[in-house]
Structure 1
Amino acid sequence: MPKTLRYTLLSLREMLLSAGPFAFLTIALLCLTYWWLNPTPPKRVVLATGPAQSAYDEFGKRYAEALARYGITVELKQSEGSSANLELLRNGEADLGFVQGGTADIGYDDEDSIVSLGSLFVEPLWLFYREDSAQRLHKKPVVTKLSELKGWRVNVGTPGSGVPRLFTTLLDVNRLQASELKLSELEQTPATVAFLNGELDAVVFASAPESLMVQMLLQTPGIRLLDFAQSEAYSRRFGYLTPVVMPQGVVDLAANIPPRNVRLVASTTSLLAHSDTHPAILQLFAQTSTTLHGGASWFSKAREYPSLEHSEVPISSEAQRAIKSGPPFLQRYLPFWLANMIERVWLAMGLIIVLALPLSRIVPPLYAFRIRSRVFRWYAELRDIEQHAESGSDSTEDLLEQLDAMESKVEKIVVPLSYTDELYALRNNIHLVRKRLQAPRRAVRADAAAAS
Structure 2
Amino acid sequence: MNIFNHFRLYARHDLGRELSVWGKIGQFYLPVAIVVALAAAATFFYVQPFPGRDTVLATGQRGTVTDQLGEAFESFFKRNGLTLQIESRTGLDEIENDLRDPDSRVNASFVVSGAGSPADYPALVSLGNVAIAPLWLFYRGDTLSVDDPFEYYRDKPIAIGAPGTVSQKLFKTLMELNNPGTGDKPNFLKLPHAEAADRLLAGDIDALFIVDGYSSPIVQRLLHSPDIKLMNFPLVDAYVRRLPFLQKVTVPRGSIDISEVQPAADVAMLASGVNLLVEKDVHPTVQWAFLLAARELNLKTDNFFPSAGNLPQYKDRGFPLSSVATRFYTSGVPSFFGYMPFWLASLLENVWVVLFALFLLALPIFKRLIGYRGFASQKLLWLHFWELRYLEDELKESRTAGQASAVLEGLRHLDEQVAATWVVDDQMRHYFNLRRCVGSAIQDAGKKIADLEKV
TM-score clears 0.5: yes
The verdict on how the C-alpha distance between 1:288 and 1:146 changes in structure 2, with shifts beyond 3 A counting, is same
Distance 1:254 1:347 in 2: 58
Distance 2:71 2:445 in 1: 90
Question: Are residues 1:34 and 2:66 paired?
Answer: no
Structure 2: state its 5+ residue gaps.
Answer: 1-8, 421-427
Three-state SS of the structure 1 residue aligned to 2:334 is coil
Name the structure 1 match of 2:340: 334
Three-state SS of the structure 1 residue aligned to 2:413 is coil
Distance 2:73 2:265 in 1: 34
- The residue identity in structure 1 corresponding to 2:376 is Y
- From 205, 226, 233, the counterpart of 1:228: 233
Question: Are residues 1:381 and 2:385 paired?
Answer: no
Report the alpha carbon displacement of residue 258 of structure 1 after superposing the two structures with TM.
1.3
Work out the percentage of aligned pairs sharing the same amino acid.
25
Name the structure 2 match of 1:121: 131
Report the alpha carbon displacement of residue 117 of structure 1 after superposing the two structures with TM.
1.4
Matches within 5 A, 1:285-434: 285-294=290-299, 297-301=303-307, 303-323=309-329, 325-353=331-359, 354-355=361-362, 356-369=365-378, 371-373=380-382, 375-379=384-388, 381-382=390-391, 385=394, 397=399, 402-413=403-414, 414=416, 415-416=418-419, 419-429=431-441
Three-state SS of the structure 1 residue aligned to 2:209 is strand
TM-score normalised per structure 1? 0.80
Name the structure 2 match of 1:273: 278
- The residue identity in structure 2 corresponding to 1:110 is Y
Name the structure 1 match of 2:115: 103
Name the structure 2 match of 1:449: none
Report the alpha carbon displacement of residue 70 of structure 1 after superposing the two structures with TM.
0.5
Distance 1:100 1:302 in 2: 15
Structure 1: state its 5+ residue gaps.
Answer: 132-139, 390-395, 446-452
- From 210, 217, 223, the counterpart of 1:205: 210
- From 154, 159, 162, the counterpart of 1:155: 159
Name the structure 2 match of 1:393: none
Q: Please, what is the CA RMSD of the aligned residues?
A: 3.5
Three-state SS of the structure 2 residue aligned to 1:416 is helix
The verdict on how the C-alpha distance between 1:110 and 1:359 changes in structure 2, with shifts beyond 3 A counting, is farther
Contact 2:285-2:350 within 8 A present in 1 as well: no
The verdict on how the C-alpha distance between 1:8 and 1:58 changes in structure 2, with shifts beyond 3 A counting, is closer
- The residue identity in structure 1 corresponding to 2:232 is D
Three-state SS of the structure 2 residue aligned to 1:194 is helix
Contact 2:408-2:445 within 8 A present in 1 as well: no
Report the alpha carbon displacement of residue 181 of structure 1 after superposing the two structures with TM.
4.1
TM-score normalised per structure 2? 0.80
Distance 1:341 1:218 in 2: 45
The verdict on how the C-alpha distance between 1:35 and 1:408 changes in structure 2, with shifts beyond 3 A counting, is same
Report the alpha carbon displacement of residue 374 of structure 1 after superposing the two structures with TM.
5.2
Report the alpha carbon displacement of residue 54 of structure 1 after superposing the two structures with TM.
1.0
Contact 2:391-2:410 within 8 A present in 1 as well: no
Contact 2:285-2:347 within 8 A present in 1 as well: no
Distance 1:423 1:25 in 2: 37
Distance 1:6 1:293 in 2: 62
Question: Are residues 1:80 and 2:84 paired?
Answer: no
Report the alpha carbon displacement of residue 235 of structure 1 after superposing the two structures with TM.
1.8
Contact 2:288-2:346 within 8 A present in 1 as well: no
Name the structure 1 match of 2:56: 46
Contact 2:81-2:343 within 8 A present in 1 as well: no
